[in-house]
Structure 1
């Protein structure tokens, strides 16, 4: 198993807070990978414009760093901020690291009057082009995200040690949402792209579990011929892409995600107020039904956070907190580390039919059941 932790708060906080939760759950991972996603960025030395897309990743050589600069300039991006971590290089396990980068850019002038979808596609295609460039040069450039208000950090090693190596405790970088996953390397070789969280056009998920339906799901997604549905160094990456497909392609509400990955039985749908529509959705998306056990935690561009379980419910997760800040973790001790002074009587462990939603206002949890109706497209 892996271990997951998420904290979301109205006031930006240090990602080191979430790393302490990972430390509390350290028996659940082996140091083969840590992934951090930060959303709702704040920098101590830069007044960040939240419209600027942020490029995050690792340049493994001077040559890769120079190609990155040349590529972005030729594509028309203007560098507005280049974050420099206060590095402790003696704590970095991997020796082929030249520069960890978090860089904010102004988009090319030609996109000023373009639609939001055109801008979103451009950011995705730019990230994929840089990833491809790194792969063509022996893996010397690794790019995790290119999106407004989002930074992703991934590295091999133990979470606290990685946090110390990048000096994440120094307050230079904060966010309103932070996701962390400590990987246990069970099925694949060590590859930074295989480390959660996964990201596509503002949508991100991380998973504890094993998706034994991975191959048919992957093949179905590849058959959509959408440029962002690629990679799959991990069987869990499909959870991000299914959520993207639900929200962006089908344009359904968040609650539909649960109906797609773990649909209700025919007997349950027969008595559901929207059973006819949901039965049709299940038939159309039957290749996207997962086979767990899995616990999936995610975030959306508006800072909504979510937690869902599969039918087997063999990967635990708990959510707790208070108005203004909430936490989700694989173990209770992880929630304790992030928000110790909460009312524990309000903690919640979802069952197989639940979707836990923490809205952007962070006032309270929304606990939605698949047996309840939800907003459907008007035509339905």
Structure 2
């Protein structure tokens, strides 16, 4: 199985906190890779929040492709960041070339365009750069979005963190998702590494989705730019979240109702049971089949954890107002938040969705069977 480490806080914290939590859960993952996605960035990026950041890996040839294509579109570099790579004994990570997080100014003719048009531009640009790098592995692009950085690499998560120099010069943010990856179904491939990101929406998963084919076919049939790739069966979770919340404009809790609909006999327990029945029939191809534990965030910084209704993977949430951890195992939570009240830890079951609003001042547990919300702080 994979292991998940997510943290949401009111203050900036280091990505190494997530990585150290993964290291405490090492028996649960095979050390095949690390993926991290950071939202609401601090440090050198704190005052660049309106500028889209291109995150990826490239060779020298790939960098020329980026420069040429971005210049042709009218993007201008605002700030360039690369990790301070460490190599040596104890770090068995093979350097690929350049690891980039580059902030750009929008093309002049897009400065006054509506937000939706800017979003479409960023998505098209990312997909085209990914296409340009696909033939020769000269270029990987993981995200292109304001105030977000995504990095991925093969190797033991702690060694990858040290390789990127995060122990001495870390990236910081207020929301960070990290996964120690185990490739049980696919060859090791960077685009198969969690987390997955699309237009402000991000998810990572522990488990496998045996309903992948109907999920994928339904999404690709929506003709939404960005519903493509699918090197992992878990990427559909991110795109389904985007479809339910961004495209259909449904509240976050309906994401749970779509991917794990309740039984017909349980619909009467919800005031919106008639609506749920319609959702269940019209979006049944987005129903998942696990086991799965899913952690994700929304564009506004809301972070959540939910489970497959039928077969659970380990998951736990706990913390203090101002900082919460969403982890696969209690030892990961203990690494990050040893000062919390352990009796308040939450272990979500089949009907639960744990939601932490922006700012991480409280945690809410939404129950799918009756639609109730509790705040167990």
Give, in angstroms, the shift of residue 31 of structure 1: 2.0
**Are 2:56 and 1:52 equivalent residues in the alignment?**
no
How do 1:113-128 and structure 2 match up within 5 A? 113-128=112-127
CA distance in 2, matches of 1:77, 1:24: 42
Match of 2:61 in 1: 63
Q: Which whole-Å CA distance do the structure 1 matches of 2:270 and 2:102 have between them?
A: 48
Separation in 2, partners of 1:8, 1:373: 24
Contact 1:319 1:347 in 2 (8 A): yes
- Alignment-derived partner of residue 284 in structure 2: 286
Cα RMSD for the two superposed structures: 1.4
Rounded to whole Å, the distance in 2 between the matches of 1:337 and 1:214 is 34
CA distance in 2, matches of 1:222, 1:77: 29
Q: Which residue of 2 aligns with 1:167?
A: 165
Alpha-carbon distance in 2 for matches of 1:102, 1:132:
19
Aligned to 2:195: 197
What CA distance in whole angstroms lies between the structure 1 residues aligned with 2:234 and 2:358? 25
- CA distance in 1 between partners of 2:372 and 2:114 (Å): 29
Whether the aligned pair in 2 keeps the contact of 1:255 and 1:374 (CA below 8 Å) is no
Q: Deviations over 1:15-66 (max 9, x none)?
A: 011110000001111122211011111234x65321111110101x211111
Q: Which residue of 2 is the match for residue 345 of structure 1?
A: 343
Following superposition, the deviation at residue 284 of structure 1 comes to: 0.5
Contact 1:35 1:197 (C-alpha < 8 Å) held by counterparts: yes
CA distance in 2, matches of 1:271, 1:84: 52
Secondary structure at the residue paired with 1:242?
A: helix
Residue 31 of structure 1 is matched in structure 2 by 31
Matched, 1:322 2:320: yes
TM-fit CA distance, 1:246: 0.3
Number of the residue aligned with 2:298: 300
Q: Structure 1: how far apart are the matches of 2:241 and 2:371?
A: 19
Confirm or deny: 8 A CA contact 1:313 1:351 kept in the other structure. Answer: no
Say which SS state the counterpart of residue 167 (structure 2) adopts: helix
Deviations 1:312-371 (A, max 9, x none): 242010000000000010000011111111111111011111110000031111110112
Structure 2 equivalent of residue 111 of structure 1: 110
Cα distance between partner residues in 1 of 2:371 and 2:17: 37
Give TM-score, length-normalised by structure 2: 0.96
SS at match of 1:368: strand
SS of the residue 2:232 aligns to: coil
Q: Note if contact 2:33-2:180 (Cα within 8 Å) is conserved in structure 1.
A: yes
Distance 1:159 1:84 in 2: 18
- Contact kept, 8 Å, 2:269 with 2:370, in 1: the verdict is no
For residues 84-124 of structure 1, give each alpha carbon's deviation from its aligned partner in whole angstroms, at most 9, with x where no partner exists: 311113435235x1100011111111111211111111111
Q: Which residue of 2 aligns with 1:269?
A: 267
8 Å Cα contact 1:54/1:103 also seen in 2: yes
What is the DSSP-based 3-state SS (H/G/I as helix, E as strand, rest coil) of the residue aligned with 1:89? coil
Q: What residue is the counterpart of 2:141 in the other structure? A: 143
Structure 1: 4+ residue segments shifted above 3 A: 89-92, 372-375
- Partners of 2:371 and 2:4 lie apart in 1 by 29
Residue of structure 2 equivalent to 1:378: none
Matched positions, count: 371
TM-score, normalised via structure 1 length: 0.95
Unaligned runs of 5+ in 2: none
From 73, 76, 79, the counterpart of 1:78? 76
For 1:80, what is the secondary structure of its paired residue? strand
How far 1:154 sits from its partner (Å)?
Answer: 0.3
Write the deviation string for residues 224-273 of structure 1: whole angstroms up to 9, x where unpaired.
12121111110100000100000111110001000000001110013421
Structure 1 gaps, min length 5: 376-380
For 1:2 and 1:84, locate their aligned partners in 2 and report how far apart those are by CA, in whole Å.
27
Structure 2: distance between partners of 1:342 and 1:239: 30
- Please report how far the alpha carbon of residue 374 of structure 1 lies from its aligned counterpart in structure 2 after TM superposition: 8.0
Asked whether the equivalents of residues 208 and 315 of structure 1 are also in contact (C-alpha less than 8 Å), the reply is yes
Aligned-partner SS, 1:103: strand
